[in-house]
Amino acid sequence: MPYFIGVDVGSASVRAGLFDENGAKFGQTSKEVTIFRPKPEHAEQSSNEIWHAVCSTITELLNNAKEVPRAEILGIGFDATCSLVILGENGAPLPATMDGPAHRNIIMWMDHRAKAQADLINSGNHDVLKYVGGRLSLEMQIPKLLWLRENNPATYRNAGYFMDLPDFLTYRATGRDIRSICSATCKWTYLAEENRWDPEFFGALDWHFLAKDFHVLPYHHGNRSPRANSSLKGALHGSTLENNVPQLAVQYLATCQAIALGHRHIIDTLNSAGYRIREIVVSGGLARNELYLQMIANATRCRVLLCREPDAMLLGGAIMATRQMTAISRAIDPAPHLAEYYARKFAVFLELRDDQLKYERIMRGSGI
């Protein structure tokens, strides 16, 4: 009689069961696995630990089922959580978090670090979203890949394989990189009926670069710092006749980047006067816009720190009644792979202002 082994990798344990072709169970074993929580909303695991647990449970299962002939066990099937496994070109694990240990190379399904990236994807109204209920969950793999690209570029750059955990188990068992159509369709936006990916969807994920040809000088109400000139005017460069939501989104993105570059201009001016500004502490309404905060970090090359109490002004008003001061809740670091992009944007930013002064000089002599 043929027998089969089923392996189920859950969040906290690995289970293995032995069945005959009629579904009768001949044994079951389990082994716990570790969940690492390096930061709030982060949950990581080790693919090596999970694979060792799989091997251990199967070995114990077979040792306990001595009445079952080994030659009659015809197959092993795997199922597991929707977790992202990160491997290098040689199949070795790469760290999920920058400066983290390499063996913690799984971003678990329950990990919510990629909220900002998921919100960005869902704001695009892409066609592929209709296959996942209209919104891509932050627990799916594409937002996590975006998070890696922005927050752990070394791992993203050196990765040879990004795998769903069930696919990783098949890979370790067989040595073959075979992907589940189910996982690819449900969690990676693969268009199974058309046997293809959506290039427009993935192209739009390079959102930082969408504004590379659209530039804004955000002096629409003058400039307070560092130029202290209320007569300056705003400017847009790169406008077209396009009149649609995507073009509006590009203009919004370029405006946010321009404001962030204005922060850089202030910081560079202070640093040139002898200061050494490396961190920015934020509070107020804009502190709730995580995408904008990431732009500030990228543009200024400074770490952005969020207060534990976001309404720091209210806290300041209460200082007379308490000695308890607000603390830092978390930090947003600049994305190294965007440094050159923002350096070029900043160069354009400064040129826009110089051009405006040139235009003013030309018109000043017109007699108008």
The per-residue DSSP string of 25-75 comes to EEEEEEEE---B-SSTT--EE-HHHHHHHHHHHHHHHHHH-TTS-GGGEEE
User: Please, which pLDDT band fits residue 304 given cuts at 50, 70 and 90?
Assistant: very high
Q: Is the distance from CB of 112 to CB of 37 less than 8 angstroms?
A: no
Backbone angles phi, psi at 287, to 5 degrees: -70, -10
Beta strands in 35-188 (DSSP E): 44-45, 73-80, 84-88, 106-107, 159-164
- pLDDT of 101: 96
What is the rounded CA–CA span in Å between residue 227 and residue 224? Answer: 6
pLDDT value for 16: 95
Can you give the pLDDT at residue 284?
77
- pLDDT > 80? residue 117: yes
Q: Using one digit for the tens of pLDDT, what is the confidence trace for 305-346?
A: 987 776 766 766 666 555 555 567 778 888 887 888 899 999
Name all domains of the chain by residue range, CATH numbers in brackets.
3-204 (3.30.420.40), 207-364 (3.30.420.40)
**Per-residue model confidence (pLDDT) at position 60:** 96
Q: What is the CA radius of gyration of the chain?
A: 27
Which amino acid makes up residue 135? Answer: R
As a whole number of angstroms, the distance between CA 190 and CA 198 comes to 8
Q: Which amino acid is at 202?
A: F
Minimum mean pLDDT among 17-31, 38-52, 247-261, 305-319: which range?
A: 305-319
- Dig out the tokens for 244 from the structure: 């649609």
**Chain segment 249-258, per-residue pLDDT in tens:** 889 999 999 9
Phi, psi of 81 (to 5 degrees): -70, 160
Amino acid found at 255: T
Q: For 1-15, what is the mean pLDDT? A: 95
Give the mean pLDDT of 146-161. 89
**203 vs 76, more confident:** 76
For residue 198, the model assigns a pLDDT of 87
Question: Does an H or E element contain 258, and which?
Answer: helix 245-272
